[in-house]
């Protein structure tokens, strides 16, 4: 996806798969020198505070690698639940859809370039 990487999270996140995902994502970001990464969570069957913490961890790792990260695909019910639970996603950039997210990644890059 050009300068950007899309990470699709799907199904259930389990302890084993999480490390695998983190490894894959960090390697891929480093290898591709991607400027930004979209993390699409719309395919996850459950988004609770545990999953939210993992998402924020992946975002932090991507940032440390010098990329921008945006989380997309959080549904209304999920957003409500996360707020009620007290989300650990305070400083994570978000967007409704992948297109919107992509536009924002590019927008932020332009701002930085200026």
Residues in contact with other proteins by CB under 8 A are 71-72, 74-76, 78-80, 82-84, 87, 89-90, 94-97, 100-101, 104
> Closest distance between other proteins and the C-beta of residue 30, in Å?
27
Angle at 66 between CA 20 and CA 70, to 5 degrees: 70
Smaller CB distance to other proteins: residue 25 or 101?
101
Which residues does residue 39 pair with via DSSP β-bridges, in sequence order? 7, 71
| C-beta closer to other proteins: residue 30 or 85 | 85
Under the phi-then-psi rule, with left for phi > 0, alpha for psi from -120 to 50, and beta for the rest, what region is 4? beta
């Amino acid at each position: 996806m050009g300068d950007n990487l899309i990470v699709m999270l799907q199904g259930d996140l389990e302890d084993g798969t999480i490390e695998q995902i983190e490894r894959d994502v960090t390697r891929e970001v480093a290898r591709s020198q991607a400027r930004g990464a979209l993390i699409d969570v719309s395919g996850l069957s459950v988004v609770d505070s545990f999953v939210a913490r993992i998402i924020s961890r992946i975002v932090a790792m991507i940032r440390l690698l010098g990329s921008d990260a945006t989380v997309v695909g959080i549904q209304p019910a999920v957003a409500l639940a996360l707020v009620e639970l007290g989300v650990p996603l305070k400083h994570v950039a978000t967007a409704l859809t992948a297109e919107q997210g992509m536009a924002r990644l590019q927008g932020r890059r332009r701002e930085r370039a200026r």
